[in-house]
Amino acid sequence: MAKDYYEVLGIAKDASDQDIKKAYRKLAQKYHPDKHKGDKDAEKKFKDANEAYEVLSDKQKRAQYDQFGSAGGQGGFGGAQGFDASGFDFSQFSGSGGFADIFETFFGGNTGTKRRQSGPKPGNDIEFQLPLTFEEAAFGTEKDLMVTKAVQCDHCHATGAEPGSKSVTCSTCKGTGEIRTVRQTILGQMATSVACSECHGEGRVHEKKCSVCHGSTRIKKDEKVKVKIPAGVDNDSTIRLSGKGEAGTFGGPSGDLYVHIRTSPSKKFVRNGYDIHSEVHIHLLQAILGDEIEVETLKDKMMLKIPAGTQSGKVFRLKEYGIEKLRGTGKGDQYTKIIVDIPIKLSRKEKDLYIQIAKESKISTKGKKGFLSSLLN
């Protein structure tokens, strides 16, 4: 019965090369015979995964498989007729990280190819939480961050050696830079090697380690980092500062610094994207007769015309009075909501005037629940 290689690896037919590789590595680690000695079912699944990966990782074979199925139209795809370790070609995986990476995972080394793990290595990335006020996020600002991180040792200039000391052949690996072992596997003898932990794969060690960093090439230090916050940045945004993370070892490149923005709320405005929302309270008579009032915006104050008969809850749009958009593509708007305040207490003269207005409008003030009644009691 023809096998569905996509089903074997548990991936969709439009899976990317990276998805195929990831699925294969997961299955290979899960069902490897070294973990399931004597388990025929695990051995079969391991072989099926190898067979599926051999086809789907090769663009030409995959295209042929997609068109003709597992028979391939031309006698199958290598392992489709059965898995034979002696005839299996591992070379196709060495460059792509296929079997070479799998065996490195299982055996802690590589498949016979000398792969030194020493030399310059990149530093770690750092994350930093930066609190900002509402206004700082809206208008942009500059901040000096004090970051504790690993930096290159100035005493040894990231060599790990005490200045003036000599280097000698590593006694652990005898100058080869690697520790080599041979073990028996289902595929026969497998030679593996790992970088020497003493010399980090260099084959030579320093006669005397740096007295400051003790050979690590780095030291911990507080360092001031300046970060420019662009106008319009929002809460939970992240700014990446390339090369501002921890220094690499043995002269390797530095990692990056990721600044996570935490914006405090405003007492005057509520932000929605690049728009802002505010409220302004006016007197009942201002709403009835109309007026021109002063309204606060992000930068300054402006005059807003209130038409006669404005209802409580009316929203006025102030175009481009909002927050500047990132990369200078304009500004948002400000939406100001009108809240009409009903007077709670009135003077005798005000009461008399409201009574006259009520009579003129033929509004009864005798009801216990009426607005005028509550003011006159």
Q: Is 337 exposed, middle or buried (0-12, 13-18, 19+ CB in 10 A)?
A: middle
Segment 1-7 mean pLDDT: 78
At the fourth CATH level, the homologous superfamily of domain 126-263 is: Heat shock protein DnaJ, cysteine-rich domain (2.10.230.10)
Domain boundaries, the chain: 5-107, 126-263, 270-341, 344-377
Q: Is 221 exposed, middle or buried (0-12, 13-18, 19+ CB in 10 A)?
A: middle
End-to-end CA distance of the chain: 94
Does residue 288 contact residue 295 with C-beta atoms inside 8 Å?
A: no
Q: 270-341 falls under which CATH superfamily?
A: Urease metallochaperone UreE, N-terminal domain (2.60.260.20)
User: Containing H/E element for 178?
Assistant: strand 178-185
| Lowest mean pLDDT, pick from 107-121, 228-242, 257-271, 349-363 | 107-121
- Each residue of 6-20: pLDDT tens digit? 999 999 988 898 889
**DSSP string computed for 161-175:** B-TT--EEE-TTTTT
319-352 residue pLDDT tens: 999 999 987 789 999 999 999 999 988 999 999 9
Domains 5-107 and 270-341 share a fold: no
Please give the model's pTM, rounded to 2 decimal places. 0.58
Q: Alpha carbon 141 to chain centroid distance?
A: 23
The mean-pLDDT minimum among 39-43, 270-274, 345-349 falls in 39-43
Percent of the chain with pLDDT over 70: 81
Average pLDDT (291-308) is 95
Confidence at residue 144, expressed as pLDDT on a 0 to 100 scale = 96
Dihedral pair phi/psi, residue 296, rounded to 5°: -80, 135
Selected residue with higher pLDDT from 144 and 68? 144
Mean pLDDT value across the chain: 82
Measured distance CA(50)–CA(343) in Å, rounded: 82
Q: pLDDT by residue (tens digit) across 100-127?
A: 445 444 444 444 444 444 567 899 999 9
CATH for the stretch 5-107: 1.10.287.110
